[in-house]
Amino acid sequence: MKKALLPFLLGIFSFAGCALSGTAQIGVVDSKLKPCPDSYNCVSSQSPGDRHRMEAIPYDTTAKEAKGKLCDIIKGMGRSTIVSEKDDYIHAEYRSAIFKFVDDVEFYFDDTRRIIHFRSASRVGYYDFGVNRKRMEAIRGKFLTP
pLDDT of the residue at 95: 97
pLDDT, mean of each 10-residue run, the chain (146 residues):
46 40 77 95 94 97 98 97 97 95 98 98 95 98 96
Distance CA 71, CA 131 (A): 20
When the candidates are 3.40.50.2300, 3.30.310.80, 3.10.20.90, 3.40.50.1010, the CATH number that belongs to 23-144 is: 3.30.310.80
49 Cβ contact partners less than 8 Å away, ≥ 6 residues apart: 36
CA–CA distance, 88 with 108 (Å, rounded to integer): 6
**Residue 48 burial (CB < 10 Å; 0-12/13-18/19+)?**
exposed
Q: What is the pLDDT of residue 129?
A: 93
pLDDT digits (tens, 9 = 90+) for 6-17: 444 334 333 444
pTM (predicted TM-score) = 0.83
How far is it, in rounded angstroms, from Cα 39 to Cα 125?
8
